[in-house]
Structure 1
Amino acid sequence: MITVGRPVDILATARAQVLDQGIGLTEDQALQCLRLPDERVDELLDLAHEVRTKWCGDEVEVEGIVSLKTGGCPEDCHFCSQSGVFDSPVRSAWLDIPSLVRAAKETANTGATEFCIVAAVRGPDGRLMAQVREGVKAIQDAVDINVACSLGMLTQEQVDELAAIGVHRYNHNLESARSYFGNVVTTHSFEERWDTCEMIRKAGMELCCGGILGMGETVEQRAEFAAQLAALDPDEVPLNFLNPRPGTPFGDQEPMSAIDALRAVATFRLVMPRTILRFAGGREITLGDLAERGVRGGVNAVIVGNYLTTLGRPADEDLAMLADLKMPIKALARDL
């Protein structure tokens, strides 16, 4: 008689593989976590918290962002109200250097260690690169904070220049799984984004690369996306949740459910046990009062204050939440 053994429990496997050995889940294993029933999500979150504490430590990294160039982007990212292709209420605008420095100072005053300059463009032209060059220097002269940038797709020459002027980290999201990318963007390819990310890593800057969940992708594609991010090996993964914006193709979508968002946060932590996993846009809409549970489920970084075109939680509320959770804010580290 053939005896069929009990199926192996994915959380037991994850505990042995990820928590004990620091080896991230595979795509298939991630899919099993994403399919866990609601009543087991707390177990999943608790395990993700243990993994984060063991392999990343207790500290939480805080970051602020500001838009140097807002709106008027020629790309058709279906979630983005900054696209000039859609009839959205965001209009093109530029921020001057004194305002940029003031925003960096305000960010530093929250205890943040990172300030990211963002521009809504396919990639930077000469004018934008000149303004970034001037802005980075002005911030470095005035504020003790790491400067990051998110300026779209880059050439090798632009990558080398950003590294030379002291940009600490570069953000360029893959946005979604390769198999779903064509449903999100049609004006450029997944491979073009991937190539910029590879150049960033090779130039010695830290790579920040994540995306947006809840854009209509399947659970299988969420697992695929987590595995593709892990293969790229970014220093930081910002997790955004779709906040449907009026006038965009995704404007009528229902926000992702809180339980699915928590399942995804914990699963991404188990796929990438040593990565900075950052709560970013849309968490206020998707998680609401459960944001604290998400932070206790594997997240070890947050963006404080407002985002590019949407309101976030006030910085003091996030800082109070971290204090209540006894999660120390990471201090600014400088190379000696």
Structure 2
Amino acid sequence: MTTATQDAQGSALDESNILELARTKVLERGEGLNYEETLAVLNLPDEKIEELLELAHEVRVKWCGDEVEVEGIVSLKTGGCPEDCHFCSQSAMFNSPVRAARIDIPELIESAKQTRKTGASEFCIVAAVRGPDERLMNDLIDATHAIKDEVDIEIAASVGMITLEQAQRLKDAGVHRYNHNLETSESYFPQVVTTHTFEERIDTLKNVRQVGMEVCTGGILGLGETREQRAEFAQNLASVDPTEVPMNFLDPRPGTPFADKEPMEANEALRAIGAFRLALPKTTLRFAGGRELTLGDLGAEQGLLGGINAVIVGNYLTTLGRPAETDLDMLGKLRLPIRALNETI
């Protein structure tokens, strides 16, 4: 019987032993928690959260290092998306305040320059589409070349579902990481999106990996999923072995089907951060949208000392973030070094 099997077949998992098991399995051996173990962590009582976050921080320092990766994002094409992701104000199906817009390459270059000045090593170009048409592909490729000519920064992209051929073209242009979020667990996905399937998203990630780009995939917590589905989601993510997992928290957007949902409670978010770190010990976990609403300043600090090792600075696609200087000051206060560019190339 293997050690992992012994772990799984040991005494019933509960608050009295799950963190002890995680210390052995995750911290010492670098193995992620399975579904039942992740669920046990998500069911920990509030008084165990501090202990959970301390362990999660130890795990991330041991297996990922103590540096924090900083990224900025910009939208090449905003709004007018034909998909019906129920949380998203960029869908053309919903009566939201967001209107379709597009920016040009000089604006992208300037945004990349401003992002680099924050110390960021990563710049992600995003478009609200089901998948890129030929015009968008050409714009993205031209923008990638133009930015790399003028700015010393890595380029990531997120333009929906892509074919193997499109993935190869982006890789050849210099895009090193591609983001396509699974958004939520496979079982809850039909309650969030109906215009495409969970498997279609998986197919895009397979194409990204096949051409040699880094896989970036995460989602949004607090969409109405259960803790069981949250644990399932962590395992869905682990199954595709991502380099990076963006962790968003629902910021209900006017005009969307999820506009009336309550934001996730801070302790639930902190439990999830710790649980996802223990399920994904060697993955970059990035603070993304909604953390300001869900966690505030104190909670963000707790997250960065509880498993998070990357942040998006500045604004998001359709919601305001924190000023980059505020996040950089927070990293300085917590004595967390920013990952240098030459260490990411």
Q: Does TM-score exceed 0.5, indicating one fold?
A: yes
Partner in structure 1 of residue 69 of structure 2: 61
Given the superposition, is the C-alpha separation of residues 334 and 41 from structure 1 closer, same or farther in structure 2, using an over 3 Å criterion? closer
* Structure-2 residue corresponding to 1:321: 330
1:51 pairs with 53, 59, 68, which one? 59
After TM superposition, list the pairs within 5 Å mapping 1:196-215 onto structure 2: 196-215=204-223
For residue 117 of structure 2, what is the aligned residue in structure 1?
109
Three-state SS of the structure 2 residue aligned to 1:195 is: helix
Asked if 1:297 is matched to 2:306, the reply is: yes
User: Of 304, 318, 342, which residue of structure 2 is paired with 1:333?
Assistant: 342
Distance 1:102 1:334 in 2: 24
Counterpart pick for 1:21 among 8, 12, 29: 29
Alignment of 1:1-336 (within 5 A): 9-289=17-297, 290-333=299-342
**C-alpha separation between the residues in 2 aligned to 1:297 and 1:11?**
14
Q: Report the CA distance between 1:147 and its aligned residue.
A: 0.3
Q: Offset at 1:155?
A: 1.0
Query: Deviation string for 1:255-288 (max 9, x for gaps)?
Result: 0000000000010000010000000000000001
| Whole-angstrom CA distance in 2 between matches of 1:155 and 1:300 | 30
Amino acid at match of 2:218: G
1:6, CA displacement in angstroms? 8.8
Deviation, 1:173, is 0.2
Aligned-partner residue type, residue 26 of structure 1 = N
Structure 1: gaps of 5 or more residues = none
Q: SS in structure 2 opposite 1:168?
A: strand
The 1:113–1:55 alpha-carbon spacing in structure 2 relative to 1, beyond 3 Å, is same
C-alpha RMSD of the superposition: 1.2
Quote the Cα distance in structure 1 between the aligned partners of 2:344 and 2:41. 39
Task: Kindly provide the CA deviation profile for residues 78-128 of structure 1, in whole angstroms up to 9, marking residues without a partner as x.
Answer: 000000000000000000110000000000000000000000000000110
Letter in 2 for 1:297: G
Residue identity matched to 1:238: P
- Opposite residue 115 of structure 1, the aligned amino acid is F
> Unpaired runs of 5+ in structure 2?
1-10
| Structure 1 letter corresponding to 2:118 | T
Number of aligned residues: 332
Identical counterparts, % of pairs: 65
C-alpha distance in 1, partners of 2:210/2:280? 20
Aligned equivalents of 1:180, 1:335: Cα separation in 2: 34
Per the normalisation by structure 2, the TM-score is 0.95
**Secondary structure of residue in 2 paired with 1:39:** helix
2:335 is aligned with what amino acid? K
User: Match of 1:311, as an amino acid?
Assistant: L
CA distance in 2, matches of 1:102, 1:68: 13
Amino acid at match of 1:159: A
Deviations 1:45-90 (A, max 9, x none): 0000000000000100000000000000000000000000000000
Following the alignment from structure 1 to structure 2, what is the Cα–Cα distance between the partners of residues 299 and 38? 19
Read off the aligned partner of 2:247 and give its amino acid letter. Answer: L
* Structure 2 counterpart SS, 1:207: strand
Letter of the aligned partner of 1:322 in structure 2? L
Residue 121 of structure 2 contacts residue 344 of structure 2 at CA under 8 Å; is this kept in 1?
A: no
By how many angstroms is 1:202 displaced? Answer: 1.3
Relative to 1, partners in 2 of residues 1:41 and 1:126: Cα closer, same or farther, differing over 3 Å? same
How far apart, CA to CA, are the structure 2 residues paired with 1:97 and 1:202? 28
